[in-house]
Structure 1
Amino acid sequence: MKNLAANTIANALRALQLFVTFLESEGIDLRKRLSDGLVLKLYEVEALAQACRRPLEALSAVAEVAPAAASRRAQNMRLERFRSRLSGSVEDAVNPAVTATRLQCIRDYVGWMAEIHLAQQAATPQSRGELRAAVDAFRHALDARMPSGGASQEREGVPPEIRSRLLEVTRPDAPQNPWVDDFARCRNALIVDWLYYLGLRRGELLSLRVSDIDFRRCVVHVFRRPDALDDPRRSQPVVKTRARELPLSQVLLDATRNYIVELRSSRPQARKHEFLFVAASGAPLSMPAFAKVFTVLRSKIPDLPDDLTPHTLRHTWNDRFSEEMDHNKVSEDTERKARSYLMGWSETSGTAVVYTRRHVREKAKQVSLDLQESMRGGKCDEQRLGAFGPRNGAES
């Protein structure tokens, strides 16, 4: 786990915690299995995949009593409790992306454990081959049960009418703005503007510092600062993409300057740090408080989509970017490179496919209509289409 962000490491540890809980509940001694050249049986793999779809807190109760100290009856009760939690409703299931991460971590962990076992044991070539074959079978079985994408890959940007509505209701002076005090109105409007006009991730937005903005050059620097020692937030926002410099329009720059000078500076705790977006107290804006901005928008403005999130605006930015590239007749290769830079992806990344789904679909529809028009054959087509019209004596 070298050079990984704290959140990534925490997710991996939670996956392994779930795996250990599962092994205990099933009475599986993984080390002994590896010594016997085995990993998990097929029905155990299926049960493990089901466990990875459940919230971790729903499974943690099975570790309350240590197996060695528990009676047989107590162990059976724990096992029944564990299995009942696996049969939870679909609504209780975690995000498919979380399930995939858990299965990947467990798969890699078992492979690592097998290699450690082989390095420590004087195994024969035959037993080595048997264990490696068992591990490969285990990996393939987990891969077959791994969600192929997840809900995040199905997201799309919002259509033009929703874009206009969102910008309208979040204006600080809008009558329908769902917040009461001026600070929340102005700060939240600026949050929406930064997400909408720059396509930032939430971690990138919450990691921004006042000093990252160069007001003279009209640019902002998006830096990677994993595990920053001066970030007091319990769950630190992280920049997952590459560091980059983004241009800022004069309008967005002026709105940001006014927020810093007039509002942020009046918050007592804001003097203790440089983070751009702050809570009412002046403390750095937390992830839950940031999420609440969109929860309030969805609940107070009924005509906004139920699935409107900060990441939806990242998809929306990509839709607008595609439209602008088409309008300016930019080549596909140049468009791909420009998008990858502005989004913080490597040039060889295939991530763009996830963020251009709506634009590709609409463009395909238009091409299909244009193709149908170009294939029309004059008089012959007119006669053919006319044959589908009302016939003499028939009802119109």
Structure 2
Amino acid sequence: MRIVTVSHRSGDLLPILLDGDGLPIPSPNEFLLSRRNLSTNTLIRNLRELSVLYRWLEDRQIDLRARLKIGTLFTEAEFSGGLIEFLRKDMESEDKVVSPHTFNNRLATIRQYFVWELDVYISSLPLSDSQYEVLQAARKRLMGWIDRAFINTPRAGSISRKSLTNDEAEFLLQCLNPESPDSFAHFEPVKFRNFAAVSLMLNCGLRPGELLSLRVEDIQIGSISSVTVKRRSPDPLDKRKPRPSVKRNGRVLPLEGHHFVRMLDRYIVEWREILTSPHI
């Protein structure tokens, strides 16, 4: 069982889950199509989580669709003593267990998948079918088991977050400053690129994917300098793997600091073309 990512002509990257024979597994891939608005990385993570479910189903020789037809997905013993314990395992080393955060992510995705699977099957039944009530009761029972299985994790406020102090950020920028004789790197265009990239992340709070998705036209240098973060349609010419993406809403951010703006302008005007040359 493995995941492959298919690049479409439109530029969309869509992962699919394959079985041991290299054939797509229909239901999880159909579920993924209903979530195509999410980023490729999120879809890949969802398939990894669903692959754990399908490994367990394969080990237990359980046909999910056949279970739906008889109106019973799992017994409580199968779910609590089988699936839940399997979801705790590290798939790379089965003698280890995953973190509570990873376990909860797996369970949340599987919950969404079961809801989708039940809704699709129930919607295909006629209203007069007696199985409708049976499946609704089975759904309520299964959702209750899943909701009770989540592990309580520490609140976000109690987790220590690591970030650069002002002094550390200043020291990092000084190390990268192209005008400093002690700056890292020997190639002038690389110096300006590194300084511009790190300065944009520190000054504007850009995520790595947002930084790597920027285009020259997104940066305005003038009396009021700014950078525009945009969510764009997939670019079929972008061959980077993994392809960077913007997950948050688009926004316009001010560029402040005379020295930073001047270095950014010099990189765009003088040095960027050298780095993008095919001869470099």
Same fold (TM over 0.5): yes
Per-residue deviation at 1:248?
1.3
**In structure 1, C-alpha distance between the alignment counterparts of 2:80 and 2:142, rounded to whole Å:** 12
Q: Which residue of 2 aligns with 1:31?
A: 65
Query: What letter matches 2:170 in structure 1?
Result: S
Shift of 1:30: 2.3
Matches within 5 A, 1:200-239: 200-216=206-222, 217-239=224-246
2:55 corresponds, among 21, 25, 40, to 21
Contact 1:15 1:106 (8 Å CA) reproduced = yes
Letter in 1 for 2:260: L
3-state SS of paired residue (1:41): helix
In structure 1, the partner of 2:113 is: 109
For the 8 Å contact 1:37–1:130, the answer to whether it is kept is: no
1:132 Cα deviation from its structure 2 partner: 1.9
CA contact (8 A) 1:99 1:146 kept: no
Structure 2's unaligned 5+ residue stretches are 1-34
Q: CA deviation at 1:224?
A: 0.6
* Structure of larger gyration radius: 1
Asked whether the 8 Å contact 2:214–2:229 carries over to 1, the reply is yes
Please name the residue that 1:43 is paired with.
81
Structure 1 residue 201: Cα displacement: 0.8
Return the structure number with greater helix share: 1
**Change beyond 3 A, Cα 1:268–1:210:** closer
TM-superposition CA deviations, 1:338-393 (whole Å, max 9, x none): xxxxxxxxxxxxxxxxxxxxxxxxxxxxxxxxxxxxxxxxxxxxxxxxxxxxxxxx
Structure 1 ranges of 4+ moved more than 6 A: none
Instruction: State how many pairs are aligned.
Output: 236
Q: What SS does structure 1 have at the residue aligned with 2:173? A: helix
Q: Measured at CA, do residues 174 and 43 of structure 1 come closer, stay the same or move farther in structure 2, by a change above 3 Å?
A: farther
Report if the CA contact (8 A) 2:199-2:260 is conserved.
Answer: yes
Give TM-score scaled by structure 1 length: 0.52
> AA paired with 1:135?
L
The residue identity in structure 2 corresponding to 1:24 is: E
* Structure number having the greater strand percentage: 2
Q: Is the 8 A contact 1:45 1:141 kept in 2?
A: no
Q: By how many angstroms is 1:167 displaced?
A: 2.3
Mark the CA change 1:97 to 1:125 in structure 2 (over 3 Å): closer, same or farther. Answer: closer
**Match runs of 1:175-254 below 5 Å:** 177-216=183-222, 217-249=224-256, 250-254=258-262
Confirm or deny: 8 A CA contact 1:172 1:186 kept in the other structure. yes
Q: Is the 8 A contact 1:111 1:135 kept in 2?
A: no
Cα distance in 1 for partners of 2:83, 2:182 equals 52
Inter-CA distance 174–253: structure 2 relative to 1 (3 Å threshold): closer
Gaps of 5+ in 1: 59-84, 271-279, 282-396
Confirm or deny: 8 A CA contact 1:190 1:255 kept in the other structure: yes
**33 and 141 in structure 1: CA distance in 2 versus 1, 3 angstrom threshold:** farther
Q: Deviations over 1:281-320 (max 9, x none)?
A: 4xxxxxxxxxxxxxxxxxxxxxxxxxxxxxxxxxxxxxxx
Aligned partners of 1:223 and 1:244 also within 8 Å? yes
Question: Structure 1 residues 173 and 98 mapped into 2: Cα distance closer, same or farther (>3 Å)?
Answer: farther
- Read off the aligned partner of 1:17 and give its amino acid letter: S
Cα RMSD of the aligned pairs, angstroms, is: 3.0
**Alignment correspondent of 1:9:** 43
Shift of residue 126, structure 1, vs aligned partner: 5.0
Percent identical residues:
27
Change (3 A) 1:116 1:110: same
